[in-house]
Amino acid sequence: MDVTVVTVTYGQRADLLVRVLEAARAQGAAGAVVIDNGARDAIAEIIAARFAGWAHVHGLGANLGSALGFKTGIVQSLARGAEFILLLDDDNLLAADCLQRLCAHWSARVAAGEGRDDFCVHALRPGMNQTGQAAALYLPEPRRGSFLGFHIAEIPFKLLRRLAPALLSSGRASAVIVTGVSVAPYGGMLFHRDVIDRIGLPDEAFFLYVDDYEFAARLTAGGGKIYVVHDAVIHDIDTTWGSAKHERYSALFTARLEAPNPSKLYYAVRNLTYFEVHVRARKSACYLLNKIVFLTILTVMALRKRRLAQYRTMLKGMRDGRRKNLGMNQAYQL
């Protein structure tokens, strides 16, 4: 299979990027398109020296967000004739045989009668997997009726995970080969170019965060499938604020209230609010109950921790998400 890797980099992450590209090339990827999203490293020179003729760099001049970055990368890869596209974050390191296993599962699905535009396959990212279940990707599989990822039905499980994690360990996860999910992050997603003809490109109005979920939701909302292949593994080799907020029970609140970057906090809250309200249409009694409980806990914790600036940023993000105020907000530049 002719697979082109598409990735987006920024800041000073060249060392991570090189490791990711080296692993993809070693596993047989035909080439790569790297979007330089305002990186402080000399990405074009580094890539030319290490991956001349195999990887191609397209610079945006500034950090214009993940949505435009991946959209541009997909467009560039298609223009170069890519048949299959593998989306990776610049810290998504393919484990041994990951690409081969993704390709084998994709081929098996087509052989079983599924159309090339009907599905994508996705690698498992076990660093986000707290229970041995494949749905724990970069963002958890959203439970219907949740508010900003919070659902009261999950409180007992989260308490048990914190107090007695051994009780949640399962030896059965390795027997599971594939799990279907309704949404998934960019990192680890493999699909045929026909999928883009069916669902379109990432929506740059999201700017940063949740654009991957909205992109994937278009496929499954239209009857398509996303298959997480358990033995095709990706390791996240950088620890981010986004991943850290799933480490403990109070993380939904504390990680956000302690977020060091107000812009990232704003976009994460705004876009998830938009996704829940306008894409998933979750205005149900359950959604309203979760919203009340979430805001009550958030308010108490913000006062106790004296994190009122972050609290106000979250409230603004919720408001703008409800009002469909997407795009880059000049008050929250990266």
Instruction: Write the pLDDT tens digit of every residue in 85-135.
Output: 999 999 999 999 999 999 999 999 999 999 999 999 999 987 543 333 433
Strands 55-59 and 31-36, bridge-based pairing: parallel
Distance CA 207, CA 68 (A): 7
Instruction: Write the pLDDT tens digit of every residue in 255-306.
Output: 889 888 999 999 999 999 999 999 987 668 888 999 999 999 999 999 999 9
Closest alpha carbon to 202 in 212, 193, 210, 192: 212
For residue 158, the model assigns a pLDDT of: 65
Which of 150-164, 212-226, 319-333 comes out lowest in average pLDDT?
A: 150-164
For 204-227, letters b (16+ CB in 10 Å) and e give: bbbbbbbbbbbbbbbbbeeebbbb
Average pLDDT, the chain: 88
Pick 3-241's CATH classification: 3.40.50.740, 3.40.50.2300, 3.30.830.10, 3.90.550.60: 3.90.550.60
Distance CA 104, CA 137 (A): 21
Distance CA 287, CA 292 (A): 9
pTM of the model: 0.88
Distance CA 150, CA 162 (A): 16
Closest alpha carbon to 80 in 8, 187, 3, 195: 3
Name the segment(s) of the chain with CATH classification 3.90.550.60. Answer: 3-241
For 291-306, letters b (16+ CB in 10 Å) and e give: beebbeebeebbeeee
What is the 3 state secondary structure string of 274-298? Answer: HHHHHHCCCCCHHHHHHHHHHHHHH
From residue 7, how far is each of 37, 215, 230, 334 by CA, in Å?
Answer: 10, 16, 22, 19
Distance CA 278, CA 51 (A): 42
**Structure-block tokens of residue 149:** 């990822």
